[in-house]
Each structure stands twice: as C-alpha cells, then as structure tokens.
Amino acid sequence: MRGIDHRILVGFALLIALIAILSYLTLFSGAVGLSWSDLSFKGGQYDSVEARIFWQIRVPRLVAAVLSGISLAVAGLSLQTLFRNPLAGPFVLGISSGASLGVALSLLAGFTFGHFGVLSGAAAGALAVTSVVMFVASRFENSTILLIVGLLMGYFIDALVSLLIMGSDAESLRVYVSWGMGSFGRLTFDGIWIFALCTVVGLVLVALSIRYLNAARMGDDFAKGLGVNVRQGRVMVLLGASLLAAASTAFCGPVAFVGIAVPHLSFMLFKTSNHRVLMPASALCGVVLCLAASQFSKFPLNAVLSLVGVPVVLWVIVRGGGLRR
C-alpha cells in the first residue's frame, strides 16, 4: 500500500486522458459543431448562437455528466462497502424512490417546491427517505436491517407514486416519465452551483470515512478492534452517499446503473480494496462512463447506459475473472 504502484499510476493516467477526450467531444461536437473561435466574447455579451449553445447547453451538460459520474460512483462504492453487498447502491436505500416521490408530487399532483420546482421536490423526497434510514441506522447496529428497511421504503414509496400516476393527466405524466429516463441536459447554469456544492459536501463526508470503509469489509467488530469509530463512520457514509445520490437524482433523474457497475469496474482495473485508491478510481470511472453516455444526448440516458454499459461491464467482469468469490 506504500506509495503508488505502477498499475495504479497507469490506470489513473489512462482514465484522465479518456476524460479529457470525452470532455472535448461533449463540448465541441454534436448537432452543431463548435470551435474555440466561435466562443469569443464582445463586451461581455454572447456574440453568437454558437457561444450560446456552448455556455447554456454544452457546459451544463458536461458539468452534469461529470458531477453525476463522481457522485453516483462514490455513493455506490461506499454503500456497497458499508452493506458488504455487491448489489447495494444508492437505489436500494430507497433514495431514488424518495426523489421520485418528490418529483411525482411536484409534476403530477401540482405541489410546488419553490424556485427549483421539480429539483427541490426530488431533493426533499430523497432527504426525507435519508432521514428515516438515518433514524433506523442510529437505533440498530446491524447493516442488513438497514438494507431491508431501505428496500421496504422503496416499495412503499413506489406504491404512492403509482397512485399519483393513476390520477394524473397525460401531459404531466409524459414529463414525469421523461424525468425517469434520466438526462444530463436538464441542468441549468444556475443549478450547477447547487449540484457542485452537494457533491463536494457529500465527497468530504465519505472521504473522511476512508478508515471506516477500509475496515468495515470485515465487519463491525473487526473495525472496532482496529480503533475505528463504527457508529460515526456509518452515519457519515450514509449521509454523504445519500447527499450525493439525491443531488444527482434530482438534477439528472434516477440513474441506477453507474452506482452498481462502476465500483466493480474500478476494482477490476485497480485490483485493490483500499478506498484510498478505489474511491478516486471509482469517481474517475464514473465520469468516463457518464461522459461517454452523454455523447448520445438524443436518446434517454438510462437506455444508453444500459444498452452500451451493460455489455461493456459484463465483458470486463467476465474477462477480469469474476467477482473473486
């Protein structure tokens, strides 16, 4: 674990290079091809259609893809470790269901949640579920109980959403369904700062729990034996992961694939369980995946991620020798 070995260095360099290429493609290619010269300012005004496309569509899309990639991957990784379950992710905790309920309330039942409308609805829903999960977490030591509670909450909320869907008109239903398909194109320039802030706070909470995450894989007693504050670690990881997942779900819709697949992908690449390496690695892999998906901006995000992502990830896992169980 000392220093950074060769494999890890090469891995990080590769991922960063990929991100650079994909970012360039996201910003400058698409329905309208752009170049640097289109982007010049005159007197602080956007002087062309091209510059407007760049600043109001392309940059927010890039930021949305990068931030969701980071937040979904890190949330997925930390929750998989916390629950010692390779299938865990932000979505099994009911966080996405909570966000969906908020969105459904705002789109289908006409509740308004202030300035950001749908987005704050999603955030409120995700936060509500998180607080229930946190309450359960503070009362029970057993992580499996949390997992069950999260799943049950998800079912309960999905039922509520389906009731809302029954009583809604065709147009709002269409908007709701389109939110559910996921997109990086919905983030506005104003929203960037909120999304970025949520991501940074969530990342800090999870990153401060690296010792807990590294020890937690062997169980809570083992972690305690290594002098780790288990209760605090669990609360911080849950809070951080929820925040990351909620922000991403609010701004880009429920995207389950990244949180589940990326931790496995980055383990296959880096062959370590040390979260000091695995966490930044997952973040970068998540960004690569989301940027790649954002190249197909005409199609629903979840469809692209699943159609392209599933075969790729399956290939990597099969070639990488399975899950080492």
* Least Cβ distance, residue 197 to other proteins (angstroms): 22
CA distance 200 to 40: 31
Between vectors from CA 260 to CA 7 and to CA 287, what angle results, nearest 5°? 55
* Least Cβ distance, residue 236 to other proteins (angstroms): 12
Name the residue nearer to other proteins (CB basis): 117 or 217: 217
Q: At what angle do helices 95-108 and 118-139 cross, to 10 degrees?
A: 150
* Least Cβ distance, residue 311 to other proteins (angstroms): 23
The residue among 91, 95, 8 whose CA lies nearest residue 258 is: 91
* Least Cβ distance, residue 210 to other proteins (angstroms): 5
* Least Cβ distance, residue 323 to other proteins (angstroms): 7
Name the residue nearer to other proteins (CB basis): 8 or 103: 8
The residue among 147, 156, 81, 148 whose CA lies nearest residue 125 is: 156
CA distance 93 to 244: 13
210 CB burial (10 A radius; 0-12, 13-18, 19+): middle
Name the residue nearer to other proteins (CB basis): 23 or 85: 85
Binding site for other proteins (CB under 8 A): 1-2, 84, 207-208, 210-211, 214-215, 217-219, 221-222, 224-229, 267, 271-276, 323-325
Name the residue nearer to other proteins (CB basis): 115 or 139: 139
158 CB burial (10 A radius; 0-12, 13-18, 19+): middle
* Least Cβ distance, residue 285 to other proteins (angstroms): 16
Name the residue nearer to other proteins (CB basis): 1 or 31: 1
* Least Cβ distance, residue 255 to other proteins (angstroms): 24
Name the residue nearer to other proteins (CB basis): 55 or 222: 222
* Least Cβ distance, residue 231 to other proteins (angstroms): 10
Q: How far is CA 100 from the centre of its chain?
A: 15
Name the residue nearer to other proteins (CB basis): 120 or 274: 274
* Least Cβ distance, residue 288 to other proteins (angstroms): 21
Name the residue nearer to other proteins (CB basis): 58 or 275: 275
Name the residue nearer to other proteins (CB basis): 20 or 226: 226
In sign, the C-alpha dihedral spanning 304, 8, 71, 56 is negative
